[in-house]
Structure 1
């Protein structure tokens, strides 16, 4: 499926095409998630969709799909990992484990900006019995920022969706690390302010 096919599908089926294309992304859509999100923003800029409805359904599609991964990891554990290894995702599995080892819970924030890793990490943390409340706090917040970023790019620079998507796929990890660092600074800064007052 190419960009034109995606845009036609979203135009034909509307908001729910945005939701479901991201929701089933957990099992592997042939298009990058970034491209799907930007398409929603682009079609909104053309007046074919309401900006608010398109954004909300895009966000809900992204976080519910990844929440499904978390639940599958909790319920099926190592069976999921075996399937990932068989699907030649071992490299991304190792990358996901390294992120968790290095950044702890903030790996959830960083991973959202790394294609494929963002889909694997929920399985891992679910399998390792992280509470859903903690998972949702980090992943839903990161998901909001990620969706807002790519939706806005589609809204304002929609004619460049393919170029932006290729760039995001290649360099997403750097942006993820940047967001993670800013998040850490913000967290510790607000804690320091609370302790002073």
Structure 2
């Protein structure tokens, strides 16, 4: 269990550091160039940046438990120029608080659930289809509302 925990912590943390570096060095030019295509105006960007920087510590620690936030938070931290030392410490804390409970829970509760590994890819496809349907429905609802106004 110790090696699994170490590998999980290192894997998640190194991923967070790599995403921070991408956000810091590539993110802002990318947002400036392509942000308008996905609805990121300079006003929206400044508002989002202020909200993020005001809550960066909480987002880095607790954001691991929120899908989507976990993935975008390090990019946003890099783009928002959160100091590296602050990012490093809070990201490490969040990584440990996220991975350790899952490894421990899996170790002690894992025998209670028998999931045949050959069905896991199908489960991933089901979740992908649900996600695509959700995004499509949301897009058409928004488009319908925009056409009414």
What corresponds to 1:193 in structure 2? Answer: none
Normalised TM-score (structure 2): 0.59
Preserved contact between residue 61 and residue 94 of structure 2 (Cα < 8 Å): yes
Name the residue aligned to 1:64: 14
- Asked if 1:103 corresponds to 2:55, the answer is yes
Unaligned runs of 5+ in 2: 39-44, 116-149
Q: Give the TM-score, by structure 1 length.
A: 0.45
Superposed, 1:4-19 pairs within 5 Å as: none
Query: 1-side partners of 2:108 and 2:13: how far apart?
Result: 23
CA-to-aligned-CA distance 1:68-124 (integer Å, 9 cap, x gap): 1100000002316848x86xxxxxxx9xx4962663422211211111211101111
**Which contiguous aligned blocks of 4+ residues in structure 1 show a shift greater than 3 angstroms?**
80-83, 159-162
Number of equivalent positions: 103
RMSD of the TM alignment (CA)? 3.0
Paired position in structure 2 for 1:18: none
Do residues 120 (structure 1) and 72 (structure 2) align?
Answer: yes
- Whether contact under 8 Å (1:112, 1:139) holds in the other structure is no
Distance 1:104 1:132, change over 3 A: closer
Contact 1:154 1:161 in 2 (8 A): no
Alpha-carbon distance in structure 2 between the residues aligned to 1:133 and 1:117: 20
Local SS of the residue matching 2:103? helix
Task: Determine which structure has more spread, i.e. the larger CA radius of gyration.
Answer: 2
Structure 1 unaligned regions, length at least 5:
1-50, 87-93, 163-197
Is the contact made by 1:80 and 1:123 (CA closer than 8 Å) also made in structure 2?
no
Paired position in structure 2 for 1:75: 25
Q: Which has the higher contact order (CA 8 A, sep 6+)?
A: 2
Q: Which residue of 2 aligns with 1:133?
A: 85
Alpha-carbon displacement from aligned partner over 1:153-184 (angstroms, at most 9, x marks no partner) = 1111114487xxxxxxxxxxxxxxxxxxxxxx
Residues 147-158 of structure 1 aligned to structure 2 (within 5 Å):
147-158=99-110
Are the structure 2 counterparts of residues 155 and 132 from structure 1 closer, same or farther at C-alpha, using a change threshold of 3 Å? Answer: same
